[in-house]
Structure 1
Amino acid sequence: MTNKKEIIVPLLPLRGLLVYPTMVLHLDVGRDKSVQALEKAMVDDHLIFLTTQKDISIDEPDSNELYHLGTLTRVKQMLKLPNGTIRVLVEGLKRAKIAEVLDDEDYFSVKVEAFEEPESRDVEDQALMRTLLSHFEQYIKVSKKISTETFTSVTDIEEPGRLADIIASHLPLKLKEKQEILETINIKDRLNRVISIIHNEKEVLNLEKKIGNRVKKSMERTQKEYYLREQMKAIQTELGDKEGKTGEIADLKAKITEANMPSNVENTALKELNRYEKVPSSSAESSVIRNYIDWLLAIPWSKETVDDLNINKAEKILDRDHYGLEKVKERVLEYLAVQQLTNSLKGPILCLVGPPGVGKTSLAKSIASSLNRNFVRVSLGGVRDESEIRGHRRTYVGAMPGRVIQGMKKAGTVNPVFLLDEIDKMSNDFRGDPSSAMLEVLDPEQNHNFSDHYIEETYDLSKVMFIATANNLSTIPGPLLDRMEVISIAGYTEHEKLHIAKDHLLPKQIKEHGLSKSQLQVRDDAVQGVVRYYTREAGVRSLERQLAGICRKTAKIIVSETKKRVVVTAKSLEDFLGKKRFRYGQAELEDQVGIATGLAYTTVGGDTLQIEVSLSKGKGKLVLTGKLGDVMKESAQAAFSYVRSNAKELGIDENFHEKFDIHIHVPEGAVPKDGPSAGITMTTALVSALTGVPIRREVGMTGEVTLRGRVLPIGGLKEKSLSAHRAGLTKIILPKDNEKDIDDIPESIREELSFVLVSHVDEVLKAALVDGVEQ
């Protein structure tokens, strides 16, 4: 055991240097604190405490950045050099540990505990000393960097602790390792530690010598590059790396065998691996081949998930994640039923079409969850290069597979649910037509042999369940659309939005804003108010943003006003979201002459259009405004021609076109409008303006008109009906040929609307005008 003795001395931090007891060496000192510490030591008893700083880059370390165990030394000589630094000669005396830092303004003054080395030695100490000397002698012979005189000088040392310190000072150790030896107070432990270090150093030297000999034997071809490669090979051999590339080739071969690829693909992979083995690593071709092999290994060739064919469970998952959307859910359950019976059905290719925010992408995720399949999504918006789909040929720099193969890599199985998002947003240019490349992907008769330019080998996509999403079918090329089963998602009714907000959106936003259900309660009438007065959309994205606004305001109230609970009602809604943005029910407040309400279908759902007709004195000039497209302009011309040719039957002056100019306007002139369903609306507005008979304010209408007054069918009836309901209309006039489409309208909407089926303009006028038209 060692004894401790406390003394107060100045402290001198050392950078990259360590002093053991009994060592004598020169130090160059230049830092101000260090100089003052030396001067203090010279004034007192020449004692100073030396310790090493942990980070040598710090110029002015504090006590926490110094090792607390160092060496108590005596300053034997001090000399000022011409460059301003001071050279001192110090002699290490004892190990010491900082007990307390007393002052650190001008210099560090510390109270240290000095450790006294015991003088007695036992037999074990002598045995350890002999072992240490023996190892040190062998080390000197191998190293040849330490002179034999050094060994002769240390053999005369009789103190075991001093012997360990002196030998450690001659070893090429890192500063941290030297500090660990300094901190080893117990002499036996110190001897053992130094013996272990010398033993390891001998092993390293022997290994270096062995590597050097092996490299020397291979120097017959004597190029510097070859020498370096052989040296690396020798190092890798000693590390058990099977001589570098050889081991890599063996690993890749094993992975190819385990990948369970089709035989033709496996042969290609092995052939490329053989080329990779022969090509030098420095060659650019080497990285190209390696990337190709890596892609072949990354793509799933046989791994697949087992479909969960429990229809009841799948139905529960779909109902849990989405309210409404019955037709899509029914189609998925039909697929499951057939799969359960046949177990060999090819993956269907569905196309979910609808306005933004109706849940097309999240529905695809739910389908994957209900089938127990992996889910992968690829966005096709803005893709205009065929190579994005089919990949680039390997002759090009930076070539890589197309998005389909990249998606399969992400999926990790051969039968994922693969979402092709925004398929209607693809375009084409001089680089090719990506929609044409998609034909092979989405054709059930072809996609079992899909060819990617980069992979080159055919890939089977027949087990993939492709789901595409689109906002507008008109921009999808016909041949591509023909390969998909289109399912229309028109939008949500007010009743459905209430359920979605309460069951899905509000709980999600409460969680995301760090709130709890007990802190925020939004009453049903408040949610209904948000739907009616703050949103006007087919989907629910804007609704979710408004609910997020309520949550943000609630979070502020709870934090700033320390309220524990906030209740939002219809009356307090304006405090959270500001003034109402929309008027619920866009229908006119009273019956008006020359203003008819038309129903339109847009890419963001259904909408209502007010069509206005005004008369002014003139000579039959027809003026059309409101940024109308060609189709609507032609509808207006057809309506005008019909009214002229049937003026007498309609009770209109037959020469009206010689007396009046007619102006047809559709408000919101900055918004482009077009579509083949405004004919009967324009006709009704014209007749109303010319006869002075008002049009019923609660009536909305849609349908195209011929020159003989026949009403033609239209599309998008469900979307138009939803918009009519949102606008507060109660009666819809529609072509008789669209009677079959009424079943697609949600029952809750059908109950609140009355439908008038017409086949001729006479029936339209009778239903739309306040008193009908006298025939």
Structure 2
Amino acid sequence: MKLSNYGEFPADIPVIAEDELFLYPFMISPLFLSDEVNIKAATKAIEDNSLVIICPTKPAHEGERDYDALYDAGVVGSIMRKVSLPDGRVKVLFQGLARAKSLYKVSDDPTIAHVDVIQATEVNSLKIDAILEVVREKVRALAAVSNYFPPDLLRTIEENHDHNRIIDLICSTIKLKKEQAYKLFIETDTEKRFLDLIDLLIDEIEANKLQREIRSKVHTHIEKVNKEYFLKEQLKQIQKELGTDTSREEEIEEYRKKLEAKKKKMGEDAYKEISKQLERFSRMHPDSSDASMTQTYLDWALDLPFGALSKKPLRIETVEEQLNKDHFSLKKPKERIVEYFAVKELLELRGVSAKKSAGAILCFSGPPGVGKTSLANSIATALKRPLIRIALGGLEDVNELRGHRRTYVGAMPGRITQGLIDAKKMNPVIVLDEIDKVTRSQRGDPTAALLEILDPEQNSEFRDYYLNFDLDLGNVIFIATANDVGRIPAPLRDRMEFITLSSYTPQEKFEIARRYLLPQELKKHGLKKSELTISKSALKELIHSYTREAGVRNLRRRIAEMARKAAMEILKHSDISKVSVTLKNIKSFFDKSVFEIEKTDKVPVVGVVNGLAWTAVGGDVLKIESIRIKGKGNLQLTGSLGDVMKESARIAMSVVKTLVDKRKLKISQDNIPLTFKEKEEIIEVDPSEIYKRYDLHVHVPDGATPKDGPSAGIAMVTVISSILGSYKVRSDIAMTGEVSLTGDVLPIGGLKEKLIAAYKADMTKALIPAKNYERDLDDIPKEVKEALEIVPVKRVEEVLKQVLV
């Protein structure tokens, strides 16, 4: 079939859009038409016995059938056959005849365009033959590195002399992008078509060479891996047949040697359990999951340091020396620690075993930053034993301590067992940090496990669920730390002996900062001693106005902040070799001061009393305020007070009423609100009317902070007495003490912290219960006793005599 059999060109013919193929004139191709526009165009061509033009869609417009979405070039040809398919599509057999260009759209539905045939320009036959030879050479080269050209197609290219036909054949064979194919397709200059095709062939040759090289390398690697795998498998089978597969037997034998080496030092139940698991492991298939789990168990169990003990003899001189070297002050705690180890040393010298000499577990209690954990570090250093720190804060899963059952995925021994493995000794120092913060949940009660761990009568047979045999923890030195002893369950408290670390006085903080904190922070920040200095007055101001704590943790942070700024100054300014912090420039190093305790103003005031309180971060001065309002004798309490403190206020109210009734607290007639009749008749009113005709409101400031405890009892009595009798209260006196309903002053706790708080607030006098004066005064720092007049009181009458003006 020839183009000349149809009408002359240019002509108006239907347009069919093709998404996938870029057709060429010599091709006979089946096309599947699914959209109405294409089907209508094919139907019209058949009905009119006319040609059609197949135009490819542009890459960004595939699926669209608008005229603008198509390339303006395509193949003109005839539809040889049309068949309707059951799925609604139409299959046509199309024969291409010539390249053509679509000049403009004539009509829609179906799309008809004005089309003209693309005519090739005349060529220089000699030159074009030379170029054709180059093209054939490149085709042969591409055929050598790819499978694009079968032998019959190569032969066609070699024997054909129609230049444009050769170009179309090659273009239809190699994988060209639509844009590349379009540029070659539309070109009328045959020479340029050949030259552009040569460039494309060269690129294709290089790409195929690279792909072939990569495939070759991958294939070689796969062959090598497969070869090694098959050889190894063959070797295994051969060794099995010959009975010489020794790798697994060697591994099992290694475990047996380890077990036998530790047999004498481990308990009988431990030896039986590990032996049993080792026998199971030897019978298992090496690739099974149980084998992997059992091998992990053997690794953990045989890593335990059975019988390995630190041999350094215990000497209390060494312990005392190390404690004094690492810590300033803390006289009482250090004495108690030395006594604890003195007993152990004496029993060792007299040949008593560690199990028989087991005493109470030490627990360091006190506010944050006072040195609880660092005391444990010093003990470990002095004893030359490894230190294991187990943080218990927020622990709620008992399996963390006891270990997980081996039936669970990812099972592991408990923290105690892991600590022994890490320490490589069976007598380390184990610090149980924040034991007061252990919580109970649905996953068990960790405090119950701690009962066994810390009880000297039981911990020689501590059973880890993972190991499934008993461990002897009798040689371990356990030291617990806690902020609030009251939060520790009573049975656990019973196993421990508490050494309380109280708040530091400003003078103690000064010495600690000078001797320890400043040198340590200079070293951490790469500063020499001469490069950063702080005057005594500046250091005291730093402690007094820029920290708010019982310990020295924030003080350390402030010194570190100062060291960072000094380091920056030295690096920025080459002429600065030394930074000095004085009272004048200290504000340039820190953003703002934090006043720990409000200073007293020394002016007596009605209805305001200074109480002393104990908090988790040290002592504090608690102002208690009261006002009276005409009413019926009601008492209102505010300031986030707990139940005990509210009861204390009610008791104080009753005590004051008793004092008024017995005339021990004088009430002026001027203070009692009178009725009109009483004023007219000048009647003297009974003093007891004072508490019947007023409502009292008692408030403890800092209302967002919860407060509780009975020790504000005498302060409550004082503030109620002051407001009812209009007596002024000396503002330079602070007080603490529980009050009974009969007016007795009862002893309280936390006296040291409370008196330190009074000292920091520049109080001149402190009233305390007489029993505390007799019992606890030796614990009070010397500087506090020298600065404060500490007065013991037994009755509330004594308190009122001291403070009411």
Letter in 2 for 1:248: E
Aligned residues: 567
Q: 1 CA distance for matches of 2:506 and 2:798?
A: 31
Match of 2:510 in 1: 498
Deviations 1:665-717 (CA, angstroms, capped at 9, x unpaired): 10111111111211111101111122222222221111111121011111111
Q: 2 CA distance for matches of 1:400 and 1:594?
A: 63
SS of the aligned residue for 1:627 comes to: coil
Of residues 285, 292, 301, the one that matches 2:297 is 292
Of residues 683, 706, 709, the one that matches 2:743 is 709
* 1:26 CA displacement: 13
Instruction: Tell me, yes or no, if structure 1 residue 590 matches structure 2 residue 603.
Output: yes
Check 1:29–1:606 CA distance in 2 against 1; reply closer, same or farther (3 A cut): farther
Check 1:385–1:173 CA distance in 2 against 1; reply closer, same or farther (3 A cut): closer
* 1:385 CA displacement: 2.0
Of residues 664, 667, 687, the one that matches 1:649 is 664
Instruction: Tell me, yes or no, if structure 1 residue 313 matches structure 2 residue 318.
Output: yes
Alignment of 1:3-152 (within 5 A): 83-85=201-203
Instruction: Tell me, yes or no, if structure 1 residue 755 matches structure 2 residue 790.
Output: yes
SS of the aligned residue for 1:733 comes to: strand
Letter in 1 for 2:276: K
Check 1:554–1:284 CA distance in 2 against 1; reply closer, same or farther (3 A cut): same
Check 1:242–1:570 CA distance in 2 against 1; reply closer, same or farther (3 A cut): farther
* 1:588 CA displacement: 3.5
Instruction: Tell me, yes or no, if structure 1 residue 407 matches structure 2 residue 419.
Output: yes
Range 256-265 or range 680-689, more displaced? 256-265
| 8 Å CA contact retained: 2:611, 2:736 | yes
* 1:362 CA displacement: 1.2
Check 1:694–1:241 CA distance in 2 against 1; reply closer, same or farther (3 A cut): farther
Check 1:701–1:237 CA distance in 2 against 1; reply closer, same or farther (3 A cut): farther
Instruction: Tell me, yes or no, if structure 1 residue 718 matches structure 2 residue 752.
Output: yes
Letter in 2 for 1:300: P
Unaligned 5+ segments in structure 2 are: 1-140, 147-196, 207-215, 219-223, 668-686
Deviations 1:85-105 (CA, angstroms, capped at 9, x unpaired): 5989xxxxxxxxxxxxxxxxx
Match of 1:243 in 2: 246
Match of 1:275 in 2: 280
| 8 Å CA contact retained: 2:316, 2:345 | no
Match of 2:442 in 1: 430
SS of the aligned residue for 2:381 comes to: helix
* 1:506 CA displacement: 1.2
Letter in 2 for 1:431: R
Aligned sequence identity (%): 45
Range 679-688 or range 642-651, more displaced? 642-651
Match of 2:775 in 1: 740
Of residues 355, 378, 393, the one that matches 1:366 is 378
Instruction: Tell me, yes or no, if structure 1 residue 524 matches structure 2 residue 536.
Output: yes
* 1:584 CA displacement: 6.3
Q: 2 CA distance for matches of 1:597 and 1:357?
A: 27
Check 1:355–1:242 CA distance in 2 against 1; reply closer, same or farther (3 A cut): farther
Range 630-639 or range 325-334, more displaced? 325-334
Deviations 1:222-260 (CA, angstroms, capped at 9, x unpaired): xxxxxx75545769999x996321111111111222233
Match of 2:452 in 1: 440
Range 540-549 or range 688-697, more displaced? 688-697
Q: 1 CA distance for matches of 2:324 and 2:241?
A: 61
* 1:634 CA displacement: 0.7
Letter in 2 for 1:656: I
Of residues 450, 454, 461, the one that matches 2:466 is 454
| 8 Å CA contact retained: 1:472, 1:603 | yes
* 1:431 CA displacement: 2.1
Alignment of 1:331-370 (within 5 A): 331-343=336-348, 344=353, 345-346=357-358, 348-370=360-382
SS of the aligned residue for 1:767 comes to: helix
Instruction: Tell me, yes or no, if structure 1 residue 535 matches structure 2 residue 538.
Output: no
Q: 1 CA distance for matches of 2:596 and 2:642?
A: 28
* 1:610 CA displacement: 0.4
Q: 2 CA distance for matches of 1:557 and 1:236?
A: 74
Instruction: Tell me, yes or no, if structure 1 residue 677 matches structure 2 residue 711.
Output: yes
Q: 1 CA distance for matches of 2:241 and 2:524?
A: 55
Match of 1:478 in 2: 490
Letter in 2 for 1:731: K
Of residues 416, 425, 428, the one that matches 1:416 is 428
Q: 2 CA distance for matches of 1:574 and 1:235?
A: 81
SS of the aligned residue for 1:429 comes to: coil
Q: 2 CA distance for matches of 1:732 and 1:29?
A: 102
SS of the aligned residue for 2:619 comes to: strand
| 8 Å CA contact retained: 2:483, 2:616 | yes
| 8 Å CA contact retained: 1:529, 1:570 | yes
Alignment of 1:153-192 (within 5 A): none
Deviations 1:357-384 (CA, angstroms, capped at 9, x unpaired): 1111111101100111110000111111
Match of 2:154 in 1: none
Instruction: Tell me, yes or no, if structure 1 residue 253 matches structure 2 residue 371.
Output: no
Q: 2 CA distance for matches of 1:715 and 1:750?
A: 18
Match of 1:17 in 2: none
* 1:326 CA displacement: 1.7
* 1:422 CA displacement: 0.3
Check 1:83–1:753 CA distance in 2 against 1; reply closer, same or farther (3 A cut): same
Letter in 2 for 1:274: E
Q: 1 CA distance for matches of 2:645 and 2:618?
A: 19
Q: 1 CA distance for matches of 2:594 and 2:306?
A: 54
| 8 Å CA contact retained: 2:642, 2:708 | yes
Range 652-661 or range 335-344, more displaced? 335-344
Check 1:713–1:234 CA distance in 2 against 1; reply closer, same or farther (3 A cut): farther
Pair member with larger Rg = 2
* 1:80 CA displacement: 7.5
Q: 1 CA distance for matches of 2:444 and 2:412?
A: 17
Q: 2 CA distance for matches of 1:707 and 1:628?
A: 20
Match of 2:726 in 1: 692
Instruction: Tell me, yes or no, if structure 1 residue 728 matches structure 2 residue 762.
Output: yes
* 1:637 CA displacement: 0.7
After TM superposition, the score normalised by the length of structure 1 is 0.69
Q: 2 CA distance for matches of 1:26 and 1:342?
A: 94
Alignment of 1:512-661 (within 5 A): 512-562=524-574, 563-582=576-595, 586-647=599-660, 648-652=663-667, 653-661=687-695
Q: 1 CA distance for matches of 2:364 and 2:526?
A: 34
SS of the aligned residue for 1:636 comes to: helix
* 1:81 CA displacement: 9.2
After TM superposition, the score normalised by the length of structure 2 is 0.67
Deviations 1:256-277 (CA, angstroms, capped at 9, x unpaired): 2223322331222122111001
| 8 Å CA contact retained: 1:347, 1:462 | no
Check 1:689–1:237 CA distance in 2 against 1; reply closer, same or farther (3 A cut): farther
SS of the aligned residue for 1:352 comes to: strand
Q: 2 CA distance for matches of 1:763 and 1:743?
A: 23
Check 1:271–1:635 CA distance in 2 against 1; reply closer, same or farther (3 A cut): same
Deviations 1:181-231 (CA, angstroms, capped at 9, x unpaired): xxxxxxxxxxxxxxxxxxxxxxxx9xx99x98xx7xxxxxxxxxxxx7554
| 8 Å CA contact retained: 2:634, 2:696 | yes
| 8 Å CA contact retained: 2:391, 2:432 | yes
Q: 1 CA distance for matches of 2:666 and 2:238?
A: 107
